[in-house]
Amino acid sequence: MVTDRTKAILLFTSYFAKNSDRNLKPLTTTEWNRFVRFLQTKGINPEDFLAQNSAELLDNLRDKTISSERINFLLDRKSSLAIALDKWSKAGIWIINRGDSEYPKRIKNKLKENAPPILFGIGRIELLNQSYIGVVGARKSSEQELNDTKRIGSKITRDKFGVVSGGAIGVDEAAMLGALEAGGFSLGFVADSLIKKSTSSIFRKFIIKKQLCLASPYNPEAGFNVGNAMARNKLIYTQSEATIVMKSDIKGGTWEGAKENIKKGWVPIWVINNDGKGNNEIVKMGAKKLSINDDWNISKLTEHHSKFNELELFSLSNSETPSEGEKNKTTLDLNRSEFQIKIKEASLFDLFLVKLIDHFKNKTVTKKEMKEELKLTNSQLDEWLKMGTERDFLIKTSKPLSFMINPKMNIRIVI
């Protein structure tokens, strides 16, 4: 049963027909958040627009991109919504908004206002809030690489976790099947063709067995779109407790998703130890290496090594993404930022920090001095300095450009 609130949010944020929606586009997630805050100031709920005259509700709306004309156009699509809901219902699609209890809590708590306002899905909805390890990788992979991926999926299942991935041909599909065929469960965040994928011979039987849930923030009939594929990567990472990169090039969705996770520090990221150029570059950015043949378990993957420790050591508020009546605030307590680097498990970025502490603790240092002392290339130094400042390990000053270890970051080195 689709609630009135969900229907209203669909009208505001979702595409039904490209031809009719092209001129005045549905609200983006950022625009929707601004509109929600406007509604909050007036004590209005989204579903009020289904029964009341919008002119009064929109009084005093002042927004550079959200006009009354645009809102009225979106609301005038009620007949298109009714047709779409009927079709989606017959296909077994459920729809939830981020204020619903079924909405994935990990995604909402990590992405906050950037969590999609709507999720479409098919399959057992309770799987949205189970424990997962993410597995991602290239569409084009060898038979051996896909077999290795299936082994990873099966191993994750033996450790009582599910596999979350993107449902695409290649590594995504192999990882999910590895878990499902071993009797486990899986969650796939698809970027396109939700209905079509749910009826495929590969996935249909597992949906019927209630082992599999497929979900998407996009219209269930939407075709492939590069931007959508890139954007859904964050759902895979934030839904997982750690993510494994099986194979990556130095461009494309897997590459961009790994970079975004490292930059945002959502979850620990592990890269299969092979000679792939993309895999090696992701390790240089701060990921950990993982061998398929190692005797590892889930506890190893989910340990918050290195920079991921800062997520636990910072004090984050537990308030959820503003559903349709709440405003989220996130606070950081920098006084609790003790941080530990274990040398045996350190990434190259960790070792860079160790070297900085060893040579330049309590000192400001220029890029030239670091380059000469640490024997680094310009590109590698620039990448690690960017990572260090973004994560508050380093303080950047100008005139002249220099850096120093953040004194609020109590970094301990463990041999």
| pLDDT, tens digit, 9 for 90 and up, residues 339-360 | 566 666 667 777 888 888 878 8
Check whether residue 250 and residue 212 sit in a common domain. yes
Check whether residue 156 and residue 16 sit in a common domain. no
Closest to 2 in 3D by CA, of 68, 110, 81:
81
Q: What pLDDT was estimated at residue 359?
A: 82
Which of 94-103, 303-312, 357-366 shows the lowest per-residue confidence on average (mean pLDDT)? Answer: 303-312
State whether residue 46 is helix, strand or coil.
helix
| Phi and psi at residue 395, to the nearest 5° | -110, 130
Does the global pTM surpass 0.85? no
Q: What is the DSSP string of 58-79?
A: TTT---SS--HHHHHHHHTTHH
CATH number at residue 342: 1.10.10.10
Q: How many CA atoms lie less than 13 Å away from 186 in the CB half-sphere?
A: 36
Cα 186 versus chain centre, distance: 17
Query: How does pLDDT run across 89-99, given as a tens digit for each residue?
Result: 999 999 999 99
Considering the domain boundaries, does residue 316 fall inside one?
A: no
CATH number at residue 296: 3.40.50.450
Tell whether the model's pLDDT for residue 186 goes beyond 50: yes
Query: How does pLDDT run across 252-275, given as a tens digit for each residue?
Result: 899 999 999 998 999 999 999 877
Asked whether 266 and 238 are in contact (CB, 8 A), the reply is yes
Q: What is the mean pLDDT of residues 135-141?
A: 90
Domain boundary (61, 90, 119) is at 90
Check whether residue 41 and residue 114 sit in a common domain. no
Look up the domain containing 297 and give its range.
105-303
Tell whether the model's pLDDT for residue 282 goes beyond 70: yes
Which DSSP letter does residue 287 get? P
Considering the domain boundaries, does residue 329 fall inside one?
A: no
Check whether residue 343 and residue 226 sit in a common domain. no
Domain boundary (29, 63, 90) is at 90
Tell whether the model's pLDDT for residue 195 goes beyond 70: yes
Check whether residue 141 and residue 257 sit in a common domain. yes
Domain count along the chain: 3
Considering the domain boundaries, does residue 143 fall inside one?
A: yes
Query: How does pLDDT run across 197-239, given as a tens digit for each residue?
Result: 999 999 999 999 999 999 999 999 988 888 888 999 999 999 9
Query: How does pLDDT run across 391-413, given as a tens digit for each residue?
Result: 778 888 877 888 888 876 666 66
Check whether residue 167 and residue 299 sit in a common domain. yes
Q: What is the mean pLDDT of residues 310-336?
A: 32
Which of 70-79, 116-125, 190-199, 289-298 shows the lowest per-residue confidence on average (mean pLDDT)? Answer: 289-298
Residues, the chain: 415
**What tokens appear for 121 in the block?**
């899905």
Check whether residue 115 and residue 17 sit in a common domain. no
Q: What is the mean pLDDT of residues 321-334?
A: 34
Check whether residue 158 and residue 255 sit in a common domain. yes
Q: What pLDDT was estimated at residue 237?
A: 97
Check whether residue 163 and residue 216 sit in a common domain. yes
Considering the domain boundaries, does residue 125 fall inside one?
A: yes
Q: What pLDDT was estimated at residue 39?
A: 93
Average pLDDT across the chain, whole number = 85
Check whether residue 285 and residue 390 sit in a common domain. no
Considering the domain boundaries, does residue 58 fall inside one?
A: yes
Q: 114 CB contacts (<8 Å, ≥6 apart)?
A: 29, 234
Considering the domain boundaries, does residue 240 fall inside one?
A: yes
Considering the domain boundaries, does residue 310 fall inside one?
A: no
Domain boundary (90, 114, 146) is at 90
CA–CA dist 172, 233 (Å, integer): 12
Q: What pLDDT was estimated at residue 82?
A: 95
Asked whether 150 and 175 are in contact (CB, 8 A), the reply is yes
Considering the domain boundaries, does residue 173 fall inside one?
A: yes
Check whether residue 355 and residue 275 sit in a common domain. no
Check whether residue 110 and residue 243 sit in a common domain. yes
Tell whether the model's pLDDT for residue 61 goes beyond 90: yes
Tell whether the model's pLDDT for residue 332 goes beyond 50: no
